[in-house]
Amino acid sequence: MSKELSTHVASWAASTSASSWLRSAGIVLAGSALVAVCAHLALPLWFTPVPLTLQPFAVLLLGLLLSPRLAGATLAAYLAEGALGLPVFTPGPALTGGLAHLLGPTGGYLMAYPVAAMLISMLWRRGGRGFSTALASAAAGNLLILISGALWIAALTHTPARTLLTLAVLPFLPGDALKVAAAAALASGFQRMRRRTK
């Protein structure tokens, strides 16, 4: 009897592990697809090589909704898909994808995505998971993305600091504030809904 029970428990554990892995893989693929869709909702700006896109919104939202490990894996998968040449990055006049896009002017923003998503997730989970914590967590992650993007452009172009702010940071602050607020509202609303259904 005990042998049958241990066999049943082992079989259940194996099926649960496989089910959990498949669920995580599905979340990673769906999350990376969301970032890819948001990347194609873009508005080029004539004075900077960095377009306005909804990519950061997707990164912020995934950071708030997923665990740190899953959030980081999702954004790492997105970068890997782009590096392999899949059309997941924001289309541009010169760069269409692949490693060349990652090494281009927007590379610093892109490469910050996994770390930013993990940071957002960790900060929100350590707080009360309310709107104000979500807002602060998303803002911290967004700031990391902007700083990383600006430093990357500075390294590529040797642009003076004042010009760099005009190219890589200031034009995006109003839109990013809206993205931070929207992601925080959605995540905190989802959290409240989950609490009510428990």
Residues 20-29: pLDDT tens digits?
A: 888 889 999 9
Q: Which residue blocks in 52-172 are alpha helix, DSSP H?
A: 55-65, 68-83, 98-102, 107-126, 131-157, 161-168
Q: Which domains does the chain have, with CATH numbers?
A: 2-197 (1.10.1760.20)
| pLDDT computed for residue 120 by the predictor | 98
Q: Is the pTM of this model over 0.75?
A: yes
Q: Are 135 and 185 in contact (CB under 8 A)?
A: no
What mean pLDDT is reported for the chain? Answer: 88
- pLDDT top residue among 5 and 152: 152
Average pLDDT rounded to a whole number, residues 28-43: 95
Average pLDDT rounded to a whole number, residues 143-160: 94
What confidence tens digit (pLDDT) does each residue in 71-126 have?
A: 999 999 999 999 999 999 998 765 556 888 899 999 999 999 999 999 999 999 99
Whole-angstrom distance, CA of residue 173 vs CA of residue 146: 9
What sign does the CA torsion over 166, 92, 112, 173 have?
A: positive
DSSP 8-state secondary structure symbol assigned to residue 40: T
Torsion of CA 53, 57, 58, 62, to 10 degrees: 160
| pLDDT computed for residue 159 by the predictor | 85
- pLDDT top residue among 88 and 162: 88
pLDDT at 3 exceeding the cut of 60: no
At 131, the pLDDT band (50, 70, 90 cuts) reads very high
